[in-house]
Amino acid sequence: MISCLFGAYLLKEGKLTKDQLETVFETMRKVRVKLGLIAVSEKLMTIEQSDEVNRLQAIVDKRFGDIAVEKGYLTDEQVSRLLGLQGNQYLSFVQSIVDNDFMAIGDIEKALSDYQNENGFTLTDIESLKSGDSDRIIPLFLPQNITEYQIQHILICIRTLIRLIDSEIYVGKGYVTDFYEANYFALQSLDGDNKATLAFSGEGKSILSIADKFAGEKFDNVDEDSLDSVAEFINCVNGLFATNVNSSFMIDMLPPEYSKTKASFSGKLLVLPVYVQGEKIDLISSFGDIINK
Amino acid sequence: MAKILIVDDSRTSRKILRGLLEESGHEVVGEAENGQEGVDKYKEFNPDITTLDITMPVMDGLEALTKIKEYDKNAKVIMVTAAGQQNKMVEAIKNGASEFVTKPFEKENILKIIDKM
């Protein structure tokens, strides 16, 4: 995620062109090997075990390494070693820029410092960004004074997007508002001890970046079929959230909803811009009450 | 190969499920988008197996399960839901559901369950 976030900043500042940034990402994709593949090549797991863990990742909110340890295929130490072999995303990003002669290392460091100042990040925040861990990165983009459960809800959504839709997503600065006008939406509300809603909306056809990948087909328009696909994705996210908080409180999942026409949301809304395959989509979350339409 | 009825309010889920069942040689005899329609189509098609989503408008999967079992106590029903609805799964099993599967669909798991039934 740091490569996409910082890459978007470098693009905005004119330090890299769009083509150069794409070349950097392409170089990174070629050298970045999935953890399962490294585990198989290191003869720590069989192909069947790796495939099984990949399948399980679709239905449980856990990382490859965590599932592999739970299944007894890897130890914690082996996962740490494999992650070391896989490499740090930020360092790969910097390496790729330098190797392609797009920027010098000193200029990248200067740009990172400017990026830090522009966003008001501390050195600890920058360390979190460089870690590549979405659970450490996303809270940096969320407003203060939101509940721990709402953060958890959003983190599960982001992790599920990374696992099922796009491993290269990134986010913009989140904000709280009491009114949101949606061009179209897909959502699901949760009833029970803690009411909540999770929704997606966007401009133009941006939402199709989720719809296409989740349904496994190419939609041409934002229509009932594509929005239903997004609603089902939200249903899966909420299911994982309900599993995680099951011991704390009861959640009753209401039927997912969608509309291809404009709608106004009101309530205490948190809006987080999420960039999926480069398309900006708004993730809208309410917690403590469901969104009023 | 089994004759299967799919009951789910999501057209995406119905399409994915139909695709993987037909790909494996099963016959999907009908689809319904809520529990009430599911009960009606069960009576119409008398399927070998019914997949029943839990969270649906008009009539949810638990009520539809009860009505299907009242009509045919030998009905074989697989409950389908996103994760996190353990309480409803337990209730469904108590009310006669044979099995349950979790979304998103995992092909090998579903086919294994259908073969077992």
d(CA A53, CA B107): 14
Q: What is the pLDDT of residue A32?
A: 72
Q: Which of A191, A232, A258 to mutate to test the interface with B (most CBs of B within 10 A)?
A: A232
Number of domains in chain B: 1
Bridge partners, residue B101, by sequence: B80
- The closest alpha carbon to A126, from A111, A112, A142, belongs to A112
The identity of residue B79, as a single letter, is M
Chain A closest-CA separation from residue B7 CA (Å): 14
Q: What is the mean pLDDT of residues A148-175?
A: 92
Q: Which of A133-147, B8-22, B34-48, B75-89 has the lowest mean pLDDT?
A: B75-89
What does each C-alpha distance from B43 to A203, A271, B97 come to in angstroms?
Answer: 44, 46, 17
Domains and CATH numbers, chain A: 2-132 (no CATH), 141-287 (3.40.1550.10)
At A175, is the pLDDT very low, low, confident or very high (cuts 50, 70, 90)? very high
Whether residues B83 and A60 touch (CB distance < 8 A) is answered with: yes
The CATH number of whichever domain residue B92 belongs to comes to: 3.40.50.2300
Q: What is the pLDDT of residue A63?
A: 87
Domain extent at residue B47: 3-116
Residue A234 in this model has a pLDDT that exceeds 90: yes
B55 phi, psi to nearest 5 deg: -90, 100
At A62, is the pLDDT very low, low, confident or very high (cuts 50, 70, 90)? confident
Q: Which of B82, B86, B87 sits opposite A235 (nearest CB)?
A: B82
Q: What is the mean pLDDT of residues A22-42?
A: 84
At A28, is the pLDDT very low, low, confident or very high (cuts 50, 70, 90)? confident
Residue A278 in this model has a pLDDT that exceeds 90: no
Q: What is the pLDDT of residue A177?
A: 94
Higher pLDDT, A91 or A180: A180
Q: What is the pLDDT of residue B103?
A: 84
Instruction: Say how many Å lie between the first and final Cα of chain A, rounded.
Output: 33
Q: What is the pLDDT of residue B107?
A: 82
Residue B106 in this model has a pLDDT that exceeds 90: no
Residue B29 in this model has a pLDDT that exceeds 90: yes
Q: What is the pLDDT of residue A33?
A: 74
Q: Which of B10, B57, B81 sits opposite A228 (nearest CB)?
A: B10
